[in-house]
Amino acid sequence: MCFSATASFTAAGVLATVGVATLRHVREPRALLFACVPLLFSAHQFSEGMVWLALEGRLGPYALDHAVFLFTLYAIGILPLLMPVAVLLMEPPGW
């Protein structure tokens, strides 16, 4: 969210709710990874909230290091691989 810890934690809660609702409506296993995207983004927003708290001095330097690592891992490492694989899995077999 890039606004504040409160905004990030609120977004994480809303996204987690949407993620659970989305998972409840999955009918085919191949759509499961795509349905998990809101939950994974909720974890991403939560880690951003932790970064905000650490930058405000409410958490220690180790917490800041771990929160920044998790935030960056999702943004640069997981998301660019997750979306193409999730869409590929949802495609029906064959041409």
Q: What is the pLDDT of residue 47?
A: 93
Would you say residue 2 has pLDDT above 80? no
Q: What is the pLDDT of residue 92?
A: 84
CA separation for the pair 95, 40 (Å, rounded): 30
Q: How many helices (H) and strands (E) does the chain have?
A: 5, 0
Integer-rounded Cα radius of gyration of the chain:
16
Would you say residue 1 has pLDDT above 80? no
CA separation for the pair 86, 60 (Å, rounded): 36
CA separation for the pair 74, 15 (Å, rounded): 15
CA-to-CA dists, residue 69 to 15, 46, 72, angstroms: 21, 13, 5
Q: Say if residues 23 and 36 touch (Cβ distance below 8 Å).
A: yes
Note the pTM of the prediction, 2 decimals.
0.86
